[in-house]
Structure 1
């Protein structure tokens, strides 16, 4: 198997781990020239075009590229919740340790509950990015 084929399988596996299925609406926030284009392409291949934060659609997944210095994390997480389906998830992607814009895990741990989210898991999302899965607590979902 070539390195490229192995990479493609790795990206496909990552899209699987993000839980993105065909037909899902995925909203992307925080896009910039440093994002992982291979991951974006694989997501688009799986679900179609990504919508931006100005969408009027209910979204299944909010994909948030976030770097240190991008502003207030709580505010952006609250913004990500607005169009999110009751069973939707937020994937917060941050640069890995040692990369420009790295976000300390403690900032995520402190910001998520303030925004009404809880962290459920984290995965490596490519060479430069880490991903943290955030969901609304079950009790909050019932109140929506």
Structure 2
């Protein structure tokens, strides 16, 4: 098991009791990340069809998916995200199948009115990129 900064999922910024919405789930996702978020929050992840406000968002993204779709997904996810809760795009790490070009997530985030942080290792095969709305705690 590789130790990462995200060993217990607190680094995502989610807290106990948070409802975290998961977008673009597929059978290639890292279930250990999902389990750690559920353990931390004490709540099951909810899917795209959940129709109430949520406290956090994770979006699974792979190369080959449409960049415009990512921008649209970010906008849709942000619309239900309460109080500027944490929003993350999770992508396969460079060299892994489905790893996107470094500029793809940044470009989609900007199209959606968001800033994308530097990718962080969240598991053996996945990186996480935190998104923030322009003007909300941005370092740029």
CA distance in 1, matches of 2:60, 2:44: 17
Gaps of 5+ in 1: 140-144
Q: Given the alignment of the two structures, is residue 113 of structure 1 paired with residue 110 of structure 2, yes or no?
A: yes
Q: 2:29 — aligned with what? A: 35
Deviations 1:93-137 (A, max 9, x none): 000111111111111121111101112343101010000000112
Q: 1:23 — aligned with what? A: 17
CA distance in 1, matches of 2:117, 2:61: 18
Q: 2:77 — aligned with what? A: 80
- Bigger RCO (CA 8 Å, 6+ sep): 2
Gaps of 5+ in 2: none
Q: 2:134 — aligned with what? A: 137
What's the TM-score, normalizing by structure 1?
0.83
Q: 1:142 — aligned with what? A: none
The within-5 A match list for 1:87-126 is: 87-126=84-123
For the aligned residues, what is the CA RMSD? 2.1
Number of equivalent positions: 133
Question: Where in structure 1 do 4 or more consecutive aligned residues deviate above 4 Å?
Answer: 6-10
What's the TM-score, normalizing by structure 2?
0.85
